[in-house]
Amino acid sequence: MITPFESPIFVTRPVFPDLADYTAQLTEIWDSKQLTNNGLQHKRLEGELAEYLAATHLKLFSNGTLALLLGLKALGLKGEVITTPFTFPATVQCLDWNQLTPVFCDIDPVTLNIDADKIESLISEQTSAILAVHVFGNPCEVEKIEKIADKHHLRVIYDGAHVFGTEVMGKPIHHYGDMTMYSFHATKLFNTVEGGALAFKEDHLAQKLDLLKNFGLLDAEQVVLSGLNAKMNELQAAMGREVLKVVDVEREKRHELKKIYEAHLNAIPGLRIVTSLEGAASSYQYFVIEVDQDQYGRTRDELFDALADYNVFPRKYFYPLCSDFSWYSRLESAQPEKLPVARKSVQQVLSMPFYGELSREAVEKICGILKELHVEKKEVLNYRK
């Protein structure tokens, strides 16, 4: 019998830079007397991130949600947008705030991304765009989606909250689509405490996004459009500059932990590793498993509850489906029979503890617990009585 951890093991932990290095940045901010409004730290981080991510155009925002919301606004979308029900609420909430109607498309059972083969049948005269999510760092079928969009003259926007630094076929992931949003929330691989960015291709969007995130102010006396306050401040930017220096080391640490998880969990029936990609194809943002009740002997929820007894706290990420929100109940695309794969997957996924400061021994112990909690087939009948 494995004993519980003495202290709670949570699903993630923020990446912190060296405190002395961050303090040095704070001293520079104090000397500058500027805390926001496109200060020196902001300008430096924007340039450094554009270089790190190989982005032609990149703009910073105070958080990823506002980045996506204003990115959709900048594209001038109308009508319907085809998207996934299996995502964090912010993705579809950004559609709501732009008066856009989501059309939910079912997901691929392996990657858990939007099923590109089912997109075209959902396109109508009201469709203006496809909003896809690279779920858990698994890249969408970007080339297939691009062909569909080109054929029907649609915009493509990617929620890239989970794919910081990821490449597809040797190209930065934001090479595909019209726009990619990155989230720099504290729980992400790269963080600015709170923050986000948009990577995009069209030159003319740069000024429009600058206006949209700063009240529409062209200068001190001219307001040329209706905007919001979505500027990243200097404290956030300074944090990001220091975290960027250690993010590659964090990726390496997570890669090592991923290999330990895989070595143990591949031998446990009923546990499928969702996040199996390696190298530049992986962001190492999450380590996610899928629980097959028939093979494992427990449901995902039963496993989730049992892990808490060992002081291990994974997350049912994502749960619930966005299509289950009450304000979408009238939509035809939100009906349960339209989304069979998503409805199954949302009951099976579990995001496991995964961060660089997690010890190898802790991961091995978690794997031991998962093995201990597995119910052999001969025991399942008694377990279900």
Query: What positions carry a catalytic annotation?
Result: 188
Residue type, 337: E
Q: What is the 3-state secondary structure (H, E, C) of the chain?
A: CCCCCCCCEECCCCCCCCHHHHHHHHHHHHHHCCCCCCCHHHHHHHHHHHHHHCCCEEEEECCHHHHHHHHHHHCCCCCEEEECCCCCHHHHHHHHCCCCEEEECCECCCCCCECHHHCHHHCCCCEEEEEEECHHHCCCCHHHHHHHHHHHCCEEEEECCCCCCCEECCEEHHHCCCEEEEECCCCCCCCCCCCEEEEECCCCHHHHHHHHCECCEEECCEECCCCCECCCCHHHHHHHHHHHHHHHHHHHHHHHHHHHHHHHHCCCCCEEECCCCCHHHCCCCCEEEEECHHHHCCCHHHHHHHHHCCCEECECCCCCCHHHCHHHCCCHHHCHHHCHHHHHHCCCEEEECCCCCCCHHHHHHHHHHHHHHCCCHHHHHHHHC
